[in-house]
A and B are shown apart, each in its own frame.
Chain A
Amino acid sequence: MNSIREMFRGRWELWLDKRIPPRNRVTLNQKRIFIFPTWMGLGYLLTDFLLFVAGVNYDNTMILNFSFFLASLFVVSILQTFSNLSGIVVSAGHTEPAFAGAEAKFIIHLSKSKHKDHHSIYCSWSGFRSNPHNLIEQQQVTITALLPTSKRGKFKPGRFKLYTEFPFGLCKSWTWLDLDMSTLVYPEPREYPLDSNRTDSSDKGNVIIRDGQEDFSGLRVFNASDSLHTVDWKAYARRGVLYSKQFHGYQAQSRLLRWSDVLVSDKECKLSALCFWVLELSKTNHPYGLELPGTIITPGSGKQHEKNCLDALALA
């Protein structure tokens, strides 16, 4: 039973890929839009049918005409609902990675077709359901989708659905789009101890750099260039002279986070631990490097370096 469903799903996706191939920028047209009555629409049709039967049986032309009117309205509503979606240009915006278990951010842009308004367009994407969006005065709206992640690695959320029931709520037109968007999901950071015996870089380094931020080393007379955060206000209260606190930073000797340093055997746990330490070390502005099976990132610091490391962890 399950396998049949799987098979159908596979078929369906294949068919969709053929019909609406993944692209960065898509204009919605009849090839890409599906349409079907909503439950309310079906209720409406039932009402219409009942009126039709009543019209026939009471031999009442006007009730018959009324039911014809409702039917016509339904047909027009199909076209209008379709028209409300068609012509919109959907393009991929940027994405933001996330740690496993958190939500990754995907940005989609909808731009208005030239000559008509679009009302109440919703987006749903693997568990995410957007607020309605209107393209009336504004030329472009941005949908920010926060998608829950679970697994580390490259995250391709696949197709999302853009849909609308405007104007009557009788029909729903929708499209399944794949804008070929992806992002990385980093391992969930988890604190595991590192094997400090085996590493020469787990203790503080030898070189002391002045004006570091880590350890308090003494006071000196305030210098105009010193940060106000460093002023020892207590000392000022006692002596009436401004002193700056002085700290020492330690220049780590290229601290290297090694695959083998993590004392757990499970691969994912190891990655989680490395992720944790990368984040910890980033906070301290410490230069660090990363050594993974097959990948070595030379020590460095800064946002870009951190990202490189996390990317490597995500893809390991």
Chain B
Amino acid sequence: MLSVLMSVLPHLQRLPYWLAGVFIAVSIWRIQVFRQRMTFPAKWLRLLMVVGGALGVIYHYGTIFGPDAGVALLVTAYLFKLLEMYTRRDAFLVVILSFFVLATEFLFSISLLTSVYVFSVLIVISAALIALNMTDKSIAVWRPLKSSLITILQTIPLLLVLFFLFPRMGPIWELKMQSNSSRTGLSDTISPGDIADLSQSSELAFRVEFEGELPEPRDLYWRALVFDRFDGRTWYSTNDAVFSPFDARQIESSGDALHYQVYLEPTGQNWLPTIAWSTISGIKTKKSSHLVNYSIETIDKAIRFSVQSYTNYVYQPEPLGQMELGRFLKLPPSGNTRAQEMAKALSSRARGDSELMAALINRHFFDEEFVYTLQPPTLGSNSIDEFLFSTRRGFCSHYAGAFVYLMRAAGVPARMVGGYQGGEIHPIGNYLLVHQYDAHAWAEYWVSGKGWLRVDPTAAIAPHRIESGSLRDTLTEVGLLDSPFSSRNVMNFAAIGKLRLMVDYLDYLWIKNVVSYGRDAQNKLLSQIMDKVTAAKVIILLSIGFGGVMVLLVAWILFLPGLRTKPSFADKQYASFLRKLERKGLYRVVGEGIDAFSRRAQEQFPEQKININKISNIYSEIKYSKSGESESQGNKSATKSDSIAALEQQLGQAVASLKI
């Protein structure tokens, strides 16, 4: 019962609310049945419930296929099965279903925490299975739990062999996680307020492991998306990796490359955050002419990829084509008239110098009373005008948006770039943690001969943010943190902060070493022990490992119990005495006393009467004196053990001289 509760519990947060209601109702009903306060529901009612549950799932998800709906359906069926649990077979089915439901949890999360949870539930389920098969009712409740723990301990060596050596293969047929549960993270549109929401989230976006020195925080601009279209309110990003792919001839880079690994949490989208410009290996990607890397597959589970980045580059210095120009100059046909005027004024001041123009805009943000806040006032239809001239409060995407708008209005091709900025350096793990609250937006504009140039207008009002590399620090310092229970505030407590980092480190190690252990990692590991990794060799190795572990397990389970208590010398001697008689066809009957058997043996072998008598007497004396010794004669035990040794010697001689 508990196993059921525990295996369903983590799913509840994702499942529709009514299923949680069903879960509670069914649990209560089941407990009442157990306490004999209620009876099992009638057959028609059960049928009705199952059909209702299935319809509910279809209504909620619109399908019964795909992981979300599938799991919901499974859980529904599983819950109702509880109300139908009469026999041992039903109970067994429920246990099997528990395994299944539990495993599906991994479709949604593979973090260490989930794994630890799943593992502990496994112990409970196994214990339930053992309890089902235990018939001695006098046994304490913890016994099955203990047995299950021991059993799981025994599975570990085998599990390791399978884990390391079982040949990994690619998907036999492709299955897509069509997850429609919403995930926090960047999306391909930015409306006012989007990034502010993200900034409230302390969820991990990705981890980065650098080979060599970490770059300066100010260089950590994790480019994820480029927003090129603006409709007066929302910025849109176009995935044009197919129609306008990256052309390597347009880029010139200098300096050393950065090498790093990115462990990206599931986003439900395709973009891959990297430092521009970059080449990705390890997964299938496409790169657009905006220097954005897209994964071919939607990222529905945590992935890892290697990146090579050149931070010094000149991109597209040649004059842009008509289409490109039109695209990066396009503005909504109407609205924001004051901003247009301002752009014209600034443009005439800059006299066509785009870089001066950019500096003037930033200067404007700095000179005027612009305030960086995560809770800006709502903006109306002329959002840029309102922001620039009346509210003057906003965060990165407001500034970047206004910047791009002004640039375009002045005839300079510009675009907004979305991604993450900075990150938290893990003190132990030497890797970088990038959280959702590191989400950021900045801008790029194009200058003939110099290509695309990055500019971060937010830096104009909160330069410290860029310097320290972390929005969190900036906000704390500027006193903008207002929700006292936000995780960022909690992190101010050093101890908890350390603990959080510790947990993250373990999670990182887990994902790096266990979860990411796939075909490539296996190949890499095996190539260290063999020249050429072939499937046949892997299978041979697997068999060897499997065999070895089996020998170990057989020894552990079958022979270890015998080794725990060694039979005493006297027991051994008596056993060999018994064997001698057995060879002659005389068996000691189960439960037959030493004396009784002695008498029987003496009758059968009168010629060995004295020896048999002697052996039996000495043996019983040793046995009885031993049990008496521990009880009362504590101080005499030394002399006693001496006499036992003497008796044992006699016994040994007697057994040896016994010839039948």
Contact = CB atoms under 8 A, between A and B. Distances in A.
A53 B173 CA distance: 10
- Contact size class for B? 35 or more
A175 to B, nearest CB: 15
B307 interface: no
Contacts of A282: none
Interface string A37-60: 000100110010011011011111
A44 B96 contact: yes
Contacts of B102: 66
B107 interface: yes
B515 interface: yes
Contacts of B169: 56
**Which of A61, A68, A70 has the most chain B CB atoms closer than 10 A to its own CB?**
A61
A79 B564 contact: no
Interface string A168-179: 110000000000
B135 A73 contact: no
A43 B162 contact: no
A76 B172 contact: no
B118 A66 contact: yes
Given A56-B172, A59-B171, A70-B99, A83 B159 contact: no
A40 B99 CA distance: 14
Interface string B589-632: 11100000000000000000000000000000000000000000
Contacts of B515: 61-62
A68 B542 CA distance: 13
Interface residues of A, number: 55
Interface string B91-115: 0110010011011101100100011
A16 B110 CA distance: 51
B584 to A, nearest CB: 15
Interface stretch (B150-158, B228-236, B421-429, B492-500): B150-158
Interface in B18-53: none
Given A61-B515, A61-B516, A72 B155 contact: yes
Contacts of A40: 89, 92, 96
B2 interface: no
A66 B129 contact: no
A167 B567 CA distance: 28
A166 interface: yes
Contact of A75 (B134, B174, B550, B590): B550
Given A62-B515, A68-B162, A136-B139, A73 B172 contact: no
Closest 8 CB pairs of A and B: A132-B135, A72-B155, A72-B158, A62-B106, A68-B162, A115-B561, A134-B136, A116-B561
Given A51-B103, A66-B103, A115-B565, 15 more contacts: A25-B590, A58-B67, A58-B301, A64-B168, A67-B103, A68-B159, A69-B122, A73-B155, A80-B557, A86-B558, A114-B562, A115-B562, A120-B134, A165-B133, A169-B129
Interface of B: 67, 88-89, 92-93, 96, 99-100, 102-104, 106-107, 110, 114-115, 118, 122, 126, 129-130, 132-136, 139, 147, 151-152, 154-156, 158-159, 162-163, 166, 168-175, 177, 301, 514-518, 550, 553-554, 557-558, 561-562, 564-565, 567, 587, 589-591
Interface of A: 24-25, 40, 43-44, 47, 50-51, 53-54, 56-73, 75-77, 79-80, 82-83, 86, 89, 91, 109, 111, 114-116, 119-120, 131-132, 134, 136, 140, 165-169
9 contacts: A60-B110, A62-B110, A62-B114, A62-B118, A69-B155, A76-B557, A79-B154, A114-B565, A131-B135
